[in-house]
């Protein structure tokens, strides 16, 4: 497991503000106590969890193999499964729910070289009754790879593109 997100704009000093991450969390119930325990293995380097089952006595062993880095093991002992999950989420913060449109289908093409390619793609989605929430223009359509600067030789009528796409839908 290895997170590959960008670093956050402002870190809280506890390493919990990253835009993405890997959160290897496991919860198990004690055989005799019937109480739940949660384990969160946090590491700054790549790691691999290994779960081995023992068919003889029905037990299992969970190991984390890591290449190094700073290793933190957090143990959550609360009793019920709900209490353990609440304690874990209070530490890492609840998950972020993205905006509704970001949960939909988004087209990220590499071959939309002209404005007509973009319009044709949208018409294709409409014709086949497939949902589409966003179309991103490829880097090749940018002017010298500058953000928000389009190559107007490829997309000459950018101001009319929105109207054309809306009309095509």
Judged against a pLDDT cut of 70, whether residue 169 lies above it is answered with no
- The whole-number average pLDDT for the span 139-153 is 73
Q: How confident is the model at residue 27 (pLDDT cuts 50, 70, 90)?
A: very high
Q: Decide which of 57, 92, 127 is a domain's last residue.
A: 92
Tally of structural domains, the chain? 2
Instruction: Report the pLDDT value the prediction gives residue 147, as an integer from 0 to 100.
Output: 72
**Is residue 20 a part of any domain in this protein?**
no
Instruction: Report the pLDDT value the prediction gives residue 19, as an integer from 0 to 100.
Output: 52
Answer with the residue of higher pLDDT: 110 or 80. Answer: 80
In angstroms, the CA 67 to CA 75 distance is 22
34 shares its domain with 83: yes
Answer with the residue of higher pLDDT: 129 or 143. Answer: 129
Q: Decide which of 92, 111, 144 is a domain's last residue.
A: 92
88 shares its domain with 106: no
104 shares its domain with 157: yes
Type and span of the H or E element at 64: strand 60-66
Residues 38 and 64: beta-carbon distance below 8 Å:
no
Per the prediction, the chain carries an average pLDDT of 78
Judged against a pLDDT cut of 60, whether residue 148 lies above it is answered with yes
Q: What percent of the chain shows pLDDT beyond 90?
A: 14
Instruction: Report the pLDDT value the prediction gives residue 13, as an integer from 0 to 100.
Output: 53
C-alpha distances in Å from residue 28, one per residue of 32, 47, 60, 88, 156? 12, 21, 11, 14, 60
In angstroms, the CA 78 to CA 30 distance is 12
115 shares its domain with 164: yes
| Most confident of the ranges 8-22, 39-53, 135-149 | 39-53
**Is residue 3 a part of any domain in this protein?**
no
76 shares its domain with 106: no
33 shares its domain with 71: yes
Instruction: State CA 108 to chain mean position distance.
Output: 16
What are the tens digits of pLDDT across the range 39-85? Answer: 998 887 778 888 888 888 888 888 888 888 888 899 999 789 999 99
Instruction: Report the pLDDT value the prediction gives residue 36, as an integer from 0 to 100.
Output: 94
Q: Decide which of 92, 114, 137 is a domain's last residue.
A: 92
Burial class, 115, CB count within 10 angstroms (exposed 0-12 / middle 13-18 / buried 19+) = buried
pTM comes to 0.50
Taking residue 12's Cβ as centre, other Cβ atoms within 10 Å add up to 9
Instruction: Report the pLDDT value the prediction gives residue 112, as an integer from 0 to 100.
Output: 65
67 shares its domain with 108: no
**Is residue 121 a part of any domain in this protein?**
yes
Range of the domain at 73: 25-92
Judged against a pLDDT cut of 60, whether residue 20 lies above it is answered with no
**Is residue 51 a part of any domain in this protein?**
yes
String of DSSP letters for 7-61: PPSS--SSS---SS----EEEEE-TTT--EEEEEEEESS-EEEEEEE-TTTS-EE
113 shares its domain with 160: yes
130 shares its domain with 158: yes
């Amino acid at each position: 497991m290895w997170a590959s997100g960008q670093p956050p704009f402002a870190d809280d000093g506890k390493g919990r503000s990253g835009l993405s991450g890997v959160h290897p969390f496991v919860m198990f119930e004690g055989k005799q106590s019937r109480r739940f325990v949660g384990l969160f293995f946090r590491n700054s380097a790549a790691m691999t969890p290994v779960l081995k089952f023992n068919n003889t006595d029905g037990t299992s062993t969970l190991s984390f193999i890591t290449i190094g880095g700073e290793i933190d093991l957090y143990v959550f002992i609360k009793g019920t499964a709900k209490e353990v999950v609440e304690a874990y989420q209070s530490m890492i913060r609840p998950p972020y729910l993205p905006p509704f449109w970001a949960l939909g289908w988004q087209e990220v093409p590499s071959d939309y070289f002209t404005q007509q390619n973009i319009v044709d793609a949208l018409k294709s989605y409409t014709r086949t009754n497939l949902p589409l929430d966003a179309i991103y223009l490829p880097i090749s359509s940018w002017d010298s790879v500058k953000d928000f600067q389009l190559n107007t030789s490829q997309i000459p009528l950018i101001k009319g593109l929105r109207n054309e796409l809306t009309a095509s839908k």
